[in-house]
Amino acid sequence: MSQQSQRKLVLQRLLEKKTITSWEAITDFRCTRLSAVIYDLRQEGYNIDTKRMVNENNGKNFAEYRLISKDLLQPFDGV
């Protein structure tokens, strides 16, 4: 699956359910680089928050990404 297709699937999930984790991205979309997709969406102006989580069963850390709003932020132009 192309990176562009994964981007569309991740964005659709965020718009519908508001959150996604890396495990959900792997199991649902076979997307193993969710953080890169989130980075690209942020660069496009989407307001996405990261919440650090801990798996209660094994103590491992993971991230949950949450779409804050559908409104695009103004891209940073470096000025």
Class of domain 3-69 (CATH, top level): mainly alpha
Locate tokens 């890396």: which residue? 22
Closest listed residue to residue 63, CA positions, set 9, 24, 29: 24
What's the whole-number mean pLDDT along residues 44-69? 91
Give the CA radius of gyration of the chain: 13
* Alpha-carbon gap, residue 41 to 44, rounded angstroms: 5
Question: For the segment 11-49, what is each residue's pLDDT rounded down to a tens digit?
Answer: 999 999 999 999 999 999 999 999 999 999 999 989 999
- pTM for the model stands at 0.79
